[in-house]
Structure 1
Amino acid sequence: MSAPVSAPDRSAPNRSLTEAATGDPLDRLRLVHVVRQYKPSVGGLEDFVASLVARQKDRFARVTIVTCDRVFRGGTRERLPAREVIDGVEVIRLPWHGSTRYPVTPGVFRAIAEADLVHVHAIDFFFDALALAAPFHRKPLVATTHGGFFHSGTAGGLKTVWFNTLTRLSATAYRGLACCSQSDYDRFAAIAPSKVRLIENGVDLAKLGDAGSKAPVKGIVTIGRLSHNKRIDRVLDALALLCRRDPDWRLDIVGTPFDWSAADVETMIAERGLTGKAQLHVGPDDTAMREIVGRSSLFASASVYEGFGLALIEAMSAGLVPVIEPNSAFIAFAQRHAGITLADFANAEQAAEALEAAHARLAAAPQALRQDAMAVARIYSWDGTAERYADFYREALGGATG
C-alpha cells in the first residue's frame, strides 16, 4: 500500500514537461477527463477539473473533457452544445438518462477512442462502465475519488454494499486512484490497497487571497452548494442564537441550488427571524465573492460530509478563521493545522459559543490569526497539486493494471 502523505511540500515550481527528458510518456499524451458535470455547471467537482485542466492544456499534446449534456441542478435542463471550446479546452457533451447520481451515458466509449490516458472523476456510472468495459476499449484508466458517493447518510447500507462489491470490482481496472482527502484514502485503501495515492485538492489562492476583513467584524460566511449534507439550517440556528445576544452578527451564504432551492433557504432565514441578518448569494462571480468575503472575519461550515473541503481552504486563503463541523475530513485537517475550531452544529448553543470564542481570539490578535490562516492555505496551492498529478500519470503509464 502506498503510504499516505500528510501536509505535502507543494512549494516547488512546476517542471515544464516540454523541457523534460526525451521519453517522458507525457510529452505526447492525449488526456481525456471524464466528469459528470462541467461548466456552465457550478460546484466543487467542476472547479477542480477546470483548475487542473488549466495547468495541463499547454503541457500535454491534447486535453479533452467529456461530460453530460445538461446541468443537473439549478439549470434550465436544456441540452448544451455537443462540442464547445471553454478556456482553450475542448468539451464534449453526451446525452444521458437515469439518475443524476448515476447518469447512464453510453456515448462515453466513442468519446475516449483517441485517448492515451483516461482520468475519471468521482465514483459513478463512468467509473464503473469504463472499468467493466476495459478489456474492450483497452485504455489506461486512473480516477480521482472526490469523496466517492458518501456525501450524505441517504441509503447508507446500500451504498456500503455497493462500495464493497461493484466499486471494489471496478477499482481493479484502474492503474491508480487519487484520493483527495485522508478520509477518502482510508476508505479506498480498504478495497484497493495497491491503487491508492493521497493527492489532496489544489486551491486557487488568488481567487479569495487576503480578501477577508482586515479588522475583526462579526461577519460569518459559509460557502457550498445548497445540498442537504451542508446543513445550512444548522448554521442558521447558530446565527439565531448569536443575534439574540448581539444584533451586530451577520451571515452571508454563498451557494448554488442543489437539494435545496434558493426559495427553500430564504424560507429558512425568514422562519428564524433572520431577514436582514442572513443573506443568500447564488453563484456570485469572483469579484462579488471578494466583496462578500471582505465583510467577514469567520468561516462556518456545518457540513456532515466533505470529500476534501475546498471551500475551507479558500476561506483560509482569505484570512478567515474557521469554525467547522467535526466530520472525518475536517477532523483530519484540524489535526494537522492549528487555529481551526471544531464545533457540533447539531448543538446550536455549542456552535454559537464556538463562533463567539473564535471572534474573541481574532479580536485579540487579528493580524497573527489572519496570517496563520493564509499560511495554511498556501500549502495547498495548485502548482504542487498539478505536478503530483503529472507524477501520478507517469506512474500509471509505466505500470500495468491488476
Structure 2
Amino acid sequence: MPRRVAIVNWRDPWQRAAGGAELYAWRMAEQLRDRGSAVTFVTGREPGQPRAEVRDGIRIVRRGGTFSRYPLVLGWLLRHRTAFDVAIDCMNGVPFLSPLALARRTKIILLVHHVHDRQFSLYFGRFLAAVGRTIEGPVARRIYRSGPTVAVSASTAHALRRRLRWDGPLYIVPNGAPSPAPLPRGTSAGDPSLVTVGRLVAHKRVDRLIEATAALRADHPGVHLHIVGRGPEHAALAARIDELGLAGHVTLHGYLPEPAKDALLAGADLHLSASRYEGWGLSVVEAAAYGVPTVSYDVEGLRDAIRDGETGWLARPGEDLADAVRRALAELQAHGPRFHAACRGWAGRFTWAESGARMHRLIMDDLDAF
C-alpha cells in the first residue's frame, strides 16, 4: 500500500556542505518513491534555493537557515501534522523532534548516522556542547522512545545502546555503494597516488593526512595526495600545505563533479581517512567499488566499512598514520590484485536497492528480514 512519507534532514544533497548523510537521505527518498510512496523531503534552505520544488518526482520543502531550520521545519510539520503516514527524522546530532508536531498516528522512524556526544565539544563551547549532548541523549531518548530507530552500522547501534542508553527497538539499514563502470587503474608503488574524499571539517582531521604525506616523501619521493571536498577548513589546510612545502605533492581540489571524483578514486593506490567520528564511511565503500582499499584509524564506523587486512588497513594502536600507509603500500606491491578483487567484492554486498527494501519493510512493519 502506498504511503505518504516525510524525510526530514538537515540539508539536501545540493547544498554546499552536503555529505554522506544527505546522499543517504536522498537515496532513501528515491527508493521509497520507486516503491509507490509519495515522498516529501523537508530540509533547511541555503540562500538562492527555492522554498519548494519537485525534483525527480520528490517534493522538496526548505525552511530556515543554520539554526532557524529547527523551529521553522517543526512549525511546517505542525501545520501539516496530518499529511503523513510516516516520517523519517534524521538526527545529525540534534533531531527535529517531529513527534512533537505530527499526528499520533504518524509512524516516526529516527535515523542516526553516528552518535555526536563527544563531537559537540569540537564545534561549541562548554554550555552549548552540554545542551547538544542533553538533546541528543535524554531528551531524544524520551521523545522517540515509542518508535523504531535506524542505525547505519553496528558501531552506531552499539554507541546508541552504550553511550546514549537507547532502549527502544533498533534496526540497521546500511549505506549502499555505487556499481561503477570500469575505469582504468594505474598503480605505482614508487609514486603512490593517495586520495581522500569528504567535507573539510575539524573532525575529519585532513591536516593529519597532509602531515603523513610529508613524512612519506622520505621513501616515496613522488607521493601525491588528492583532497576532494570543500568546507570551513580549506584555508587552514592550504596554509599547512604551504608551510610544509607540499605544493607539488598535495592538491586541494575542492568540489569535483562525480565523473572527475570517480576518475581520481579509480586511479588511486589508496584512499585515506583520518576522521575521528564516522557512522559508516560512505567514501570508503565508494573507493572499494573501484578496487581501491582504505587506510584509516580504528574508529567507530570506519571499522565497519573496512575489513582490516582484506579491503584496507586500520592503524594499529599507537601506529603513526604514515607508517600504516607504508605498510599498506608494501602489501599492495606484493598482493595488489588480491586486494583490488576483495574491495570490489565487499562493495558489491551493499546496494541502495537492498537498503531501500529494508527501509520499506520497516515502514510496512515487515520485520522478518531484520
* TM-score category (smaller protein): 0.7 to 0.9
Deviation at 1:386, TM superposition (A): 1.1
Q: How does 1:146-161 map to 2 (within 5 A)?
A: 146-150=113-117, 152=119, 154=121, 159-161=132-134
Give, in whole Å, the separation in 1 of the partners of 2:247 and 2:269: 20
Q: Specify the SS of the correspondent of 1:141.
A: strand
- Corresponding position of 2:141: 168
TM normalised by structure 1 equals 0.80
Deviates more, 1:218-227 or 1:153-162: 153-162
Contact 2:81 2:101 in 1 (8 A): no
Residue identity (%): 24
- Corresponding position of 1:379: 349
1:331 aligns with 2:307: no
Q: How does 1:2-401 map to 2 (within 5 A)?
A: 27-41=1-15, 42-70=18-46, 78-96=47-65, 98=67, 105=73, 106-111=75-80, 113-123=82-92, 126-128=95-97, 130-134=98-102, 138-150=105-117, 152=119, 154=121, 159-173=132-146, 175-190=147-162, 191-206=165-180, 210-211=182-183, 213-217=185-189, 218-257=192-231, 259-260=232-233, 262-334=234-306, 338-343=310-315, 350-395=320-365
Q: Specify the SS of the correspondent of 1:236.
A: helix
Deviation at 1:383, TM superposition (A): 1.9
**Amino acid corresponding to residue 21 of structure 2 in structure 1:** L
Deviation at 1:111, TM superposition (A): 4.5
Q: Where does the alignment leave 5 or more consecutive residues of structure 2 unmatched? A: none
Listed one character per residue, the Cα deviations across residues 144-165 of structure 1 (whole Å, up to 9, x for unaligned) are 1011434726156655444432
Contact 1:151 1:307 in 2 (8 A): no
Deviates more, 1:35-44 or 1:183-192: 183-192
Q: Specify the SS of the correspondent of 1:205.
A: coil
Contact 2:110 2:148 in 1 (8 A): yes
Listed one character per residue, the Cα deviations across residues 319-339 of structure 1 (whole Å, up to 9, x for unaligned) are 112111111222344468734
TM-align CA RMSD = 2.7
Structure 1 residues 280 and 198: alpha-carbon distance in aligned structure 2, compared to 1, 3 A threshold: same
Give, in whole Å, the separation in 2 of the partners of 1:382 and 1:147: 19
Deviation at 1:200, TM superposition (A): 1.6
Give, in whole Å, the separation in 1 of the partners of 2:173 and 2:333: 35
Structure 1 residues 119 and 212: alpha-carbon distance in aligned structure 2, compared to 1, 3 A threshold: farther
Deviates more, 1:110-119 or 1:158-167: 158-167
Give, in whole Å, the separation in 2 of the partners of 1:97 and 1:292: 32
Give, in whole Å, the separation in 2 of the partners of 1:88 and 1:47: 16
Size of the aligned set, in residue pairs, is: 355
Deviation at 1:125, TM superposition (A): 5.4
**Amino acid corresponding to residue 317 of structure 1 in structure 2:** A
Structure 1 residues 163 and 62: alpha-carbon distance in aligned structure 2, compared to 1, 3 A threshold: closer
Contact 2:4 2:39 in 1 (8 A): yes
Contact 1:254 1:280 in 2 (8 A): yes
Contact 2:214 2:246 in 1 (8 A): yes
**Amino acid corresponding to residue 29 of structure 2 in structure 1:** V
Contact 2:44 2:66 in 1 (8 A): no
Contact 1:255 1:282 in 2 (8 A): yes
Structure 1 residues 99 and 312: alpha-carbon distance in aligned structure 2, compared to 1, 3 A threshold: farther
**Amino acid corresponding to residue 319 of structure 1 in structure 2:** G
**Amino acid corresponding to residue 45 of structure 1 in structure 2:** A
Give, in whole Å, the separation in 2 of the partners of 1:221 and 1:151: 27
